[in-house]
Every structure is written in C-alpha cells, then in structure tokens.
A and B are shown apart, each in its own frame.
Chain A
Amino acid sequence: MEQPEQVAPMKDLEVITDPSIFKVLLDPVRADIVFKFLVNGAMTVKQLADVLGKNPGTILHHIDALKKAGLVVQERTQLTPTGIVQRYYRATAREYRMGLGEMMQADAGIARFAKDRLGSTVSALLAYGIDIPESETGQAMEILGRLIERENAVTSNIPIVDDKAYRKLPPPVRSDASRIIRRFVLEEDSRYRDLREKWHSFLRSHKKGGMRNE
C-alpha cells in the first residue's frame, strides 16, 4: 500500500560534511530559502515565491534540488477551498554547520571558502577587543578549527533512545531539550574541554582591555 513517508522531526543541528550538498547551498536563492525561511518553519512554494520575488516555477526547481540534497523535506499538504494543493516544505534542521575538516579536503573552491570563512571569523573578534596579529592568525585558525570540528563530532550524532517520545515533543520543547543535551555532552567530553581551554587562553592572551556586553 502506498503510504506517505513519515517525515523525521526537525533536527536542532546538522553538520554538512558532503561538499556536494554544500555546493547546492552556494546558490544565493537556495541559501535564502533555507537559512532565511525554512529553518524557521514550513512554507509553501507560493509563499516563498512571494517573499523572494521569484516565480513559483523557479522556487519549485530550487526546492527540488534542496530536497534531493536532503536539506528540505515536505512536511504536510493542505487543500485550499479553491482547489489548490499546497505542499509545505521545511528545512531538515534549525541550524546548519559546515564540517570544516571535510570542506578543507574538498575541491579548491570549497576549501578556499571554508578557510576564508574561518579567517574572517578570527578577524571579526577584533570587534570584541580580541586583537590577533596577522602572524598568529594561522595559529588561531588552527585551534578554532579543531575546536569546531570536535564540537561538531560530539554534538551531531547524539543518540535518541526513545524515538517515539522524541517525535511526539512539540518543536520548541524538542529544541530546548536538544540544546541542554548538546551542552551536556560537550561538557562531558575531555578532548573538547581541553581544546576549549586552549582556545580561551589564546583569546585571553590577546584581549585588549575589558569587554562590554553586546
């Protein structure tokens, strides 16, 4: 019997390790669809077309590519009184992260993107009074890269022991529970703690004066 597939609940975090999936998101319209809209909730093709100012056909093609990449799923279908069959699509996770190690191993374009992104993040700390001289940028990127990779490795595959109960949770509650557990498993991981301590002492040694609250 043909039964609609049961859609997996939205994950709190997904680490993208496949460079081909990352490439799908390099298209600015697809990136907008996922990061601006579908991570926040389900939308129809018509709604996405309206907010992005594109025609529905274009959005359908992008949704097709995102579905194939496993970044978007069809959540539900509604029939309107006028006969329109609206399909609601949403992202598979609330937050996506780049798997740094895999991206650095990917082709030159993606590896350069990942390196530049990490470099920009390190430079951006100057806005918070962390002044890292150019000669130490490489060291900062290396420590931060290892810390991020460890965090991704620890938090991306937390086992769910009661899938039935997990599926029944309302999304905001599921998200809060997921955050608590992510923090907990990180604190339990000694390698993560060591790397974090190393990174924090590096930051402390480059701090200029005091820090203001954001």
Chain B
Amino acid sequence: MKESSFEVLKNDISISFRFAARNVISFILGMFGVLIVSVVLMAMIAVAIFVPIVFGLIEGIGMEGMIQFFTSFAAIWSTPQVSLMIGVFMLLAVFVLGPFMVAFGALFGMAREIVESEGTTAEGVFAWYRKKFFSLAGGGIILFLVVMWPIVLLILWMPGFVTGSLIGLDFAIPMVAILLWVVISAGMLSLLFPGIIDGLSALAAARRSLRLSRQYFDRVFGTWLSFIGIILLTSVVPLIGFLIVLFLVIPAMAIGLTRVYLILTDNVQETGSASSENPDFRLVGGV
C-alpha cells in the first residue's frame, strides 16, 4: 500500500484533483483571505524593518548622505562584496517571504481537513495560519534556505552566471544543475508542511520528510514530479492556466502530498478490516 506503482500514482492524483475540485470555493476564498493577511503582514514587517533604517539614516547622515548610501549599493554589486549583498538579500527575502510561506503552509491545513474528513471551510485556513504561524514560518525558512543556498554558492563561485557573461554550455550546465537541485531538494522536503500540520516542529518535520522521501522514494517523488509536470503543462496557457494552477493544481498538490504523508506515517488498513472480537463488556466491579 505504501509503495508506488502506476495505478497507485494515478489513484493518488485523481483523488487529489477530485477533492480539490469539490472544495474549490473554500480554497479560492481561503487563498484570497490569507493572501490579504499575508500582504498586510508583509507590509508591517517591511515597515518595521525599513522605517527605523530610513529614520536612522536621515537622522545620522542626512538626505544627501542617504542618497549616496543607496546608490553605493549598485557599486557593491559589481565588486567582490557581492557576497554581502546576497546575504542581505537572503535575509530580507526570508523576512518578506515569511508570511507567504505561512500562507502556503496553511493550505496544507485545509488539505489535512479534507483528507481526514472530506471537507473544509474557507475560514479554517486562518486557524492554521494563526495556530501554526511560527512552525510554518520556520518550515518556510528551512525550505527557502535548503533550496536557495547552493544556488547562492554557485553564484558566488561563478559571478558571470548572473551578470550574463556566461554563454553556451558554460551557462547551460549550471542552469541544469540548479533546476535539478530545486526539483530534488524541494521534492525531498515536499512532506515538510504536512508534517508541521501533523504537530511536528519545523525541524522534526524536515527530518521526517527527508526520511520518508528516501524510504518511499517512488511514492513521494512520483507524486511530487506528477504535480510539477501538471503545473508546467497547465502554465502553457497564459491566464486561464495560471488561474487553474493557483486554485486547482496547488490545492490538489497540497491534498495529494498530505494524503501520501498520512498513508506513509502509519500502518493503513482498508476499511472494515479492523473488527473487535471482544465486545467491551466488564466482568469485574470493585472486587
């Protein structure tokens, strides 16, 4: 039951899409709601970071100095201090993307409700967003850093990769390596959010995801790559494709991965196979 085959994979994908289609309204409303909350939260975080910096700079070096400070960033990018820039960029990206990662993770909460009980509500996403905020944010940061840091190393090692000076095979080989890394590392961590929703900490969920994806490589990667393929194929159609990916394929992926997680983390029985041979009668009182 845990191992994959074409039939199992087909079944996993079709069940995921069926559940996603049945709950599409809840997903659309939930995603809109959580997106608004994320934008507001992101703006608040940005304000909390940038306002003190700007006021500090105005106070400290004046308006002229501040203009000089920001224009100096362009110069830094083309100098050996590019690593510093990337570090700052990564740090800001983690803070800014945090709320969106939590929003994405909260979709797995809706998916969990569907997989365990066949239904969800749009407002349910907010409960996951609020109750698992820090774990999901931690999971998002782990995912971001694991997927991104080798790419950063590559950029540091071959700066020409981003400045456009590399062409032909010199560009194609690192590009393919990056794509492979993104697909494989994100696939290995594809059960991270279902694990967090299941009550694990971000780190424990990451460890469990890595273990499960190694142990049941065919089932996890079969599901993951199928959804990546479906996303790529659907994205070919410009606007409608984007909407389908956003409101149907991504929810189906969350449902599919959650379902695989629940199946892989327990000894699953077919319905009806658990029967009680001992009716729960008590024989003994207070003897």
> Chain A interface (Cβ within 8 Å of chain B)?
1-2, 4, 40-41, 44-46, 49, 55-58, 60-61, 64, 67-68, 74, 76-87, 170-173, 175-176, 179-180, 183
Contact = CB atoms under 8 A, between A and B. Distances in A.
A210 B64 CA distance: 97
Nearest to A184: B287
A210 to B, nearest CB: 21
Nearest to A64: B199
Contacts of B11: 83
Nearest to B260: A85
For the complex of A and B, the 5 pairs showing the least CB-CB separation, nearest first, are A83-B15, A170-B278, A56-B117, A57-B124, A46-B117
Given A78-B270, A79-B263, A60 B116 contact: yes
A170 B284 CA distance: 15
B262 A85 contact: yes
Contact of B116 (A4, A68, A84): A84
B267 interface: yes
Interface residues of B, number: 49
Contacts of A60: 112-113, 116
B215 A180 contact: no
17 contacts: A2-B212, A2-B215, A4-B267, A41-B280, A45-B113, A55-B119, A55-B124, A57-B113, A57-B127, A84-B116, A85-B115, A85-B262, A85-B268, A87-B266, A172-B280, A179-B287, A180-B284
A160 to B, nearest CB: 18
A143 to B, nearest CB: 20
Nearest to B265: A4
A173 B278 contact: yes
Contacts of A175: 282
Contact of A68 (B128, B199, B280, B282): B199
A7 to B, nearest CB: 10
Contacts, number: 117
Q: Which of A58, A64, A78, A80 has the most CB of B within 10 A?
A: A78
Contacts of B128: 57
A176 B284 CA distance: 5
Nearest to B261: A85
A78 B266 CA distance: 9
B270 A79 contact: yes
A61 B198 CA distance: 10
B53 to A, nearest CB: 38
B10 interface: no
Q: Which of A87, A179, A183 has the most CB of B within 10 A?
A: A87
B286 interface: yes
B199 A183 contact: no
Contact of B269 (A41, A56, A79, A183): A79
Given A172-B278, A183-B287, A77 B269 contact: yes
Contacts of A85: 115-116, 259, 262-263, 268
Contacts of A55: 113, 119, 121, 124
A171 B277 CA distance: 10
Nearest to B130: A61
Contacts of B274: 76, 78
Nearest to A182: B286
B120 interface: yes
A170 B19 CA distance: 37
B6 interface: no
Contacts of A58: 127
